[in-house]
Structure 1
Amino acid sequence: MNDLTELKRFVVAHAISQGLPADHYAALLDRVTTDAGDEPGSWPYEWIRAGDEWDAAGQTALAAQYYTMGRFPYVDGPGRKRALVRGLDAFDRWRRGVPGLEPVVVEVGGVPVRVWAAGLSAERPRPLLVMTGGIVSPKEQWAAVLPQIASFGMAGVVADLPGVGESPLRYGSDAWTLFPAILDALEDRARVSETYLLALSFSGHAAITAALRDPRVRGVVGNGPPIHDFFTDAAWQARVPKITRDTLAHLVGVPPEAVFAHVRDWALRDADLAALTVPLAAVTARRDEIIPPGDVERLKRHVRDLRLVEHDDVHGAPSHLAETRVWSLLAVQRMRPDADPEVIAALTSALEDARTGAGR
């Protein structure tokens, strides 16, 4: 069972990342008195009830966000399962009204996995951007960005990290194979030899690994990725929030007390970082409660083409949402040799606005 105080604190960062104003969810959180079950006052029930109200009001996209929060941080029973199913249904209904936003099923190790895509074309294949969330955020939290990616002259895909959301995969050290599988599936509808990965939180670790092993990956943008010390530093691991430890344990399929021993061998070595030949851009947070500062220092010491933005913030930099979003999209465009100068200029201007507060 999740610690309710910790659960409420962490979900606020995700609500902010989805652009939900505090007056939308503050009263809802006050009504939540228990993590477990699916009765009034429980975590899933209250988020689902609010989602139903938005859905009835015709706000399908907003309803999907509320349902998605109801399954946060992962499905552990009937209530959160109900929230996940409703969230998937609401998002699917919303995306049907968005031209070009489509589901695609890819085979990952023989297992069918659904992703969301936009900008795919057999006649005019475009460079590809693949976006993934972390261990607690499913693809439906991020897929609304796909039409914007398509407007940049790219094809875009948003996928779940293995085990997250509706993904049937088990999260493991082979999570990086998700990316080559997506590229293989789309090679007739996108220029997969020019692929960029925008990978948030834990999926950044998988994205860097994929870039080391698949030459079709031409650049990686991350936000708070674990690198080495997160996997090996026992003193730091003792400080990692319970919700993070328990979610990671759930995804990899081991008891919480065994999870750090299980993932210890996942650490990227200094030689791995030095071998990275493509640019890596990363958002980091000085008060990150999940990723140790040593991981950022390793990137600085060993990655040959590193582009960092550092915020005085917690994991994911939720208080710098507007700036982080634009900076990440701009970082992708600056990695592309054939990016549209007008797109870069527009994103640069938007970044300046975000940094001065005009874009928030």
Structure 2
Amino acid sequence: MSFVWPQDPRDLFVERYPQMVAFGLPTHDVDAVRAAITAMWPDAPGGWVYEWSRLAGRYAAAGQHDLAALAYGYAKFPTLANEPKRTALARQVEEYQLAAADFPVDFERHVLTLRHQGSRTQVPVHVLAAPGLPADAPVTLASGGVDGWKMDLHSMLVGIALQTRTRIIAFDLPGTGETSHVPMTHDGGTEIIEGLIAEARKTGNGQVAHFGLSMGGYYSARTGLTGVVDAAINLGGPVEAAFASGRSLAFGMEGIVGNALGFDELPSPEELSAGFSKFNLRHLLDQDTNGPMLVINGADDVHVPQHDTLVFQGRRDTRVELIPGTGHCAVTKLPEVMPIVVDWLRQTLDI
């Protein structure tokens, strides 16, 4: 199920422009696309998916498959609400695999079949590993959030793979990307991730870390709080206050989250609140079962209140960093954040 909703594309650029350039797209190309786009949903000149796909097509024709994958990633952004968006995702997958020959890491693509809500579902994963990495290296599970998915985080994940020498297994959350055929739920998503953890434990030396960005950080906070992984990194994830009743969502998040949760039309604030309230992690925060955790976010996040980072202060085996002068997931200060992530992960896993 999916739906479109009234969305001014200029608002999305206000928030996501820093991420677009930080993750590798040339600034002048982003500026040109931003100037050309006048509408969110039409697959026609001036439409979001059309203009981003046209840029991606130019990259692909020039053999710049890495940039084509990034641009198709923004063509399908922020959710697979219609057929042109789904087509853009399919082309992103194609371009990403073409680019893989030039990755500085070894790359494999697999489709896992995992348990989900009394049945089984397919979850495509990408495996990234430093060249020559031993088979018994630790594994880091990694995902983005509701609108930034595994291929969109490529440069970040490559950095983690090379600098930690852990094998990265990247996946899309339920309700998003290549796992959008099942809705995002607090229990169904957890079941899929527990299946991924079980697969990861068989892959390397048995050690498994979990890195989650944005909504992915919600799930890594969950695995960290329950102690089912050996290390958990929550970068910008909501855990409690973000799910409070009556909170308004910014920059189209009501439509983005509504699609991820499986609604077939824009939910009312009450419907969205009812669906999201089930994700609250207070019951786990009240327990003392957590494994080693690293919790980071920007101090000026418009989506996730500071409480959801600071609530981890004082927990055992937990490091908390609230980065000043930056917003959601501290994306404008990644050169400052990623060394913290890498050093903490290496120390925690003793690698």
Normalising by the residue count of structure 2, what TM-score does the alignment of the two structures yield?
0.87
Residues 1:301 and 1:171: Cα distance change in structure 2 (over 3 Å): same
Give the C-alpha shift of residue 263 in structure 1.
Answer: 1.5
Give the C-alpha shift of residue 150 in structure 1.
Answer: 4.3
Alignment partner, residue 317 of structure 1: 330
1:125-164 aligned within 5 A: 125-151=136-162, 152-164=164-176
> Residues 280-302 of structure 1, C-alpha deviation per residue, up to 9 Å, x if partnerless?
21222121100012222322255
Alignment partner, residue 240 of structure 2: 228
Residues 1:185 and 1:297: Cα distance change in structure 2 (over 3 Å): closer
Alignment partner, residue 215 of structure 2: 202
Equivalent position amino acid for 1:232 in 2: A
Q: Are 2:108 and 2:126, in contact at CA under 8 Å, matched by a contact in 1?
A: yes
Of stretches 76-85 and 115-124 in structure 1, the one that deviates more from structure 2 is 115-124
Q: Does 1:280 align with 2:293?
A: yes
Q: Are 2:210 and 2:232, in contact at CA under 8 Å, matched by a contact in 1?
A: yes
Comparing both chains, which one has the higher relative contact order based on Cα–Cα distances under 8 Å and sequence gaps of 6 or more? 2
Alignment partner, residue 122 of structure 2: 112
1:57-68 aligned within 5 A: 57-68=62-73
Q: Distance in 2 between the 1:303 and 1:227 partners?
A: 18
Give the C-alpha shift of residue 186 in structure 1.
Answer: 3.8
Q: Secondary structure at the match of 1:283?
A: strand
Query: How many residues get paired?
Result: 333
Q: Distance in 1 between the 2:276 and 2:13 partners?
A: 27
1:158-307 aligned within 5 A: 158-167=170-179, 168-174=181-187, 175-192=189-206, 194-213=207-226, 215=228, 217-234=229-246, 237-238=247-248, 240-254=249-263, 255-257=266-268, 258-269=271-282, 272=285, 274-302=287-315, 305-307=318-320
Q: Distance in 2 between the 1:250 and 1:153 partners?
A: 35
Q: Distance in 2 between the 1:104 and 1:41 partners?
A: 36
> Residues 105-127 of structure 1, C-alpha deviation per residue, up to 9 Å, x if partnerless?
22222111110003499983211
Identity among equivalent positions (%) equals 20
Q: Distance in 1 between the 2:157 and 2:305 partners?
A: 31
Q: Distance in 1 between the 2:287 and 2:202 partners?
A: 33
Unaligned runs of 5+ in 1: 340-360
Residues 1:51 and 1:5: Cα distance change in structure 2 (over 3 Å): same
Q: Are 1:122 and 1:188, in contact at CA under 8 Å, matched by a contact in 2?
A: no
Equivalent position amino acid for 1:57 in 2: A
Give the C-alpha shift of residue 305 in structure 1.
Answer: 2.1
Q: Are 2:299 and 2:324, in contact at CA under 8 Å, matched by a contact in 1?
A: yes
Q: Distance in 2 between the 1:302 and 1:228 partners?
A: 16
Q: Distance in 2 between the 1:186 and 1:218 partners?
A: 12
Q: Distance in 2 between the 1:61 and 1:116 partners?
A: 15
Give the C-alpha shift of residue 145 in structure 1.
Answer: 4.8
Q: Are 1:231 and 1:264, in contact at CA under 8 Å, matched by a contact in 2?
A: yes
Q: Are 1:116 and 1:143, in contact at CA under 8 Å, matched by a contact in 2?
A: no
Q: Does 1:100 align with 2:106?
A: yes
Alignment partner, residue 343 of structure 2: 330
Alignment partner, residue 321 of structure 2: 308
Give the C-alpha shift of residue 335 in structure 1.
Answer: 1.4
> Residues 160-214 of structure 1, C-alpha deviation per residue, up to 9 Å, x if partnerless?
111211113311102122332123224433123x111111011111112223445
Q: Are 2:133 and 2:165, in contact at CA under 8 Å, matched by a contact in 1?
A: no
Q: Are 1:195 and 1:219, in contact at CA under 8 Å, matched by a contact in 2?
A: yes
Q: Are 1:11 and 1:72, in contact at CA under 8 Å, matched by a contact in 2?
A: no
Unaligned runs of 5+ in 2: none
Alignment partner, residue 57 of structure 2: 52
> Residues 258-310 of structure 1, C-alpha deviation per residue, up to 9 Å, x if partnerless?
11111212111165354243222122212110001222232225565223242
Residues 1:311 and 1:256: Cα distance change in structure 2 (over 3 Å): farther
Q: Secondary structure at the match of 2:278?
A: helix
Q: Are 1:107 and 1:181, in contact at CA under 8 Å, matched by a contact in 2?
A: no
Q: Are 1:16 and 1:318, in contact at CA under 8 Å, matched by a contact in 2?
A: no
Q: Are 1:106 and 1:113, in contact at CA under 8 Å, matched by a contact in 2?
A: yes
Q: Distance in 1 between the 2:336 and 2:292 partners?
A: 20
Of stretches 85-94 and 15-24 in structure 1, the one that deviates more from structure 2 is 15-24
Q: Distance in 2 between the 1:309 and 1:142 partners?
A: 21
Equivalent position amino acid for 2:253 in 1: T
Q: Are 1:138 and 1:160, in contact at CA under 8 Å, matched by a contact in 2?
A: yes
Of stretches 41-50 and 23-32 in structure 1, the one that deviates more from structure 2 is 23-32
